[in-house]
Amino acid sequence: MKNTIRLSIVALCLAVTMLTCACKNDSEENGALIVGKWKLTAASNMGVAIGSVWEFGDDGTCSFTMDGSVERGSYSLTNSDKVVEMTISGTSIIASIERLDESVMILNEDKTGLTVRREFERQQ
């Protein structure tokens, strides 16, 4: 009986350790994947121009380019890198990351009950 309890405790500790490591890897991956230039290809419920370019630096800086005009700001990843918080020219954007991989990024922002969905493609 005591051995069964000990084995159960060891198995539980091992499972928690593996889960913690897996979450850390996902978190580090999102931090690396977001860095680069992204072109807005689709957007719902908003007036931002399709084709605008958003750039995220590895130093926490970001920029938004539309029609030759560049606005700069900063960003950070929070909530285990599932949320990106940006401030560009005094405007705050908090968006959940629906998808982020080598070629596609999809962000969802809740604006007073209205979800703004932005789809991006990675640029070279």
- Per-residue pLDDT reduced to its tens digit, 77-115: 998 889 999 999 888 999 999 999 999 999 999 888 888
Beta strands in the chain, from DSSP E residues, in sequence order: 36-44, 53-56, 61-66, 69-78, 83-88, 91-100, 104-111, 114-123
Domain hosting 29: range is: 2-123
The residue count of the chain comes to 124
d(Cα 50, Cα 104) in Å, to the nearest integer? 15
The amino acid present at 21, given as its one-letter code, is C
Mean pLDDT of the chain: 80
Phi-psi region of 90 (alpha: psi -120 to 50; beta: other; left: phi over 0): left
d(Cα 53, Cα 63) in Å, to the nearest integer? 8
Name residue, tokens 């490591």.
21
pTM metric for this prediction = 0.74
Which domain CATH number covers 50?
A: 2.40.128.280
Number of folded domains that form the chain: 1
